[in-house]
Amino acid sequence: MSEERKNSPRVRFNLLDVALIALALLCVVSVWQRGNLKKIFEESGVYQSYTVTFAAENISQATADALKAGTVLYAEDNGTRFVLGTLNDNVSVVSKGNWSLSVSGSLNCMLLPKDGLYFLKDGPQLALNMRFVAESETATLELVVLGIEKSD
């Protein structure tokens, strides 16, 4: 009888066997739930670089001089200040009179595209013809969004 016990095969599990079984189960569950996992990652989204074209009317010469390439513009929404974007090289100034200037240019912004809408990080939705007050460290102006295009 004791010989039968010694010769009978024993099933032994060690830590590696348990890890392999757990890994196999996780693989099966992930394949089974891949559609749900895809939705989770798509909903959170990724912020992408966009070029936002703007115009500003009736600003002073000092404000126009402060708008140089690389200047960071900020905006405020419900008491929260957020980064709007960085000015690109193409800021143009047109004189409208003795004390009034018109400025147009573009910003490099990080936006989250979702269902045809664009959302600023920590800020509101950005849309065409939207007006808001933007400020840099030395200037404040009211911008109108004229275009939103994906940067290369």
pLDDT tens-digit readout, 27-50: 888 888 877 766 656 555 678 899
pLDDT of residue 126: 87
pLDDT of residue 21: 93
How is residue 40 written in tokens? 């989770």
pTM summary value: 0.67
Q: Which residues pair with 108 in a beta bridge?
A: 51, 86
Strand ranges inside the chain, DSSP E: 48-59, 72-77, 80-87, 92-95, 101-114, 117-120, 125-126, 131-135, 140-150
Q: Which residues 6+ apart lie within 8 Å of 122 measured at CB?
A: 80, 82, 83
Q: Which residue has the higher pLDDT, 120 or 122?
A: 120
Count of all residues that appear for the chain in the document: 152
**pLDDT exceeds cutoff 80 at 136:** yes
Q: Which residue has the tokens 């295009």?
A: 149
Q: Which residues 6+ apart lie within 8 Å of 47 measured at CB?
A: 110, 111, 112, 121
- Distance CA(152)–CA(146), nearest Å, equals 19
Residue 69's SS3 state is coil
Do residues 45 and 78 touch, judged by C-beta distance below 8 A? Answer: no
